[in-house]
């Protein structure tokens, strides 16, 4: 079975029902194991709250569709290493991006994202 970490940008497209979101819906429903991290949940919630929209429905949907990965010492350390490495060539690659990529690498998963900062990373599929 395929494993996928769905990045916050992809979740936002999914909940907005846009064309990219429909592609994500297809991926989610094809028997793939879906994963998120607490940071991804926080980013999605922030987007909803900034737009004066209740985040509870989005959180509830993520709970029912995905498995929450723990944020442990290994993930924190791996994210830091990825961040430092990627920032050498990508000035906009953020610590949150590194966190998502580290989580995917730990569980040997792909990342589904709409974020171009993941361009060139073998684990990433950019929609």
Residue 96: CB atoms within 10 A of its CB come to 19
Closest C-alpha to 47, from 59, 30, 37 = 59
* pLDDT level of residue 5 (50, 70, 90 thresholds): very high
- Spell out the CATH class of 3-126: alpha beta
CA–CA dist 94, 79 (Å, integer): 10
Residue 30: the pLDDT is 75
- What whole-number distance in Å separates Cα of residue 76 and Cα of residue 69? 12
Q: How far apart are CA 80 and CA 86, in angstroms?
A: 10
Which of 126, 77, 127 minimizes the C-alpha distance to 102?
77
Record the pTM.
Answer: 0.91
Listed by start position, the domains of the chain span 3-126
Residue 1 pLDDT > 70: no
Is pLDDT larger for residue 86 or for residue 27?
A: 86
Residue 62 has pLDDT above 80, yes or no: yes
| pLDDT tens-digit map of 20-53 | 888 888 888 777 899 999 999 999 999 999 998 8
């Amino acid at each position: 079975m395929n494993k996928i970490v769905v990045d916050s940008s992809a979740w936002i497209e999914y909940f907005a029902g846009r064309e990219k979101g429909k592609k994500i819906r297809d991926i989610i429903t094809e028997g793939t194991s879906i994963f998120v991290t607490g940071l991804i949940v926080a980013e999605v919630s922030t987007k909803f709250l900034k737009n004066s929209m209740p985040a509870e429905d989005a959180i509830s949907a993520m709970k029912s569709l995905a498995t929450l990965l723990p944020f442990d010492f290994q993930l924190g350390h791996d994210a830091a290493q990825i961040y430092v490495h990627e920032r050498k060539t990508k000035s906009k690659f953020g610590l949150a991006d590194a966190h998502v990529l580290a989580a995917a690498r730990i569980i040997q998963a792909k990342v589904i994202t709409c974020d171009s900062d993941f361009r060139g990373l073998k684990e990433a599929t950019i929609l």
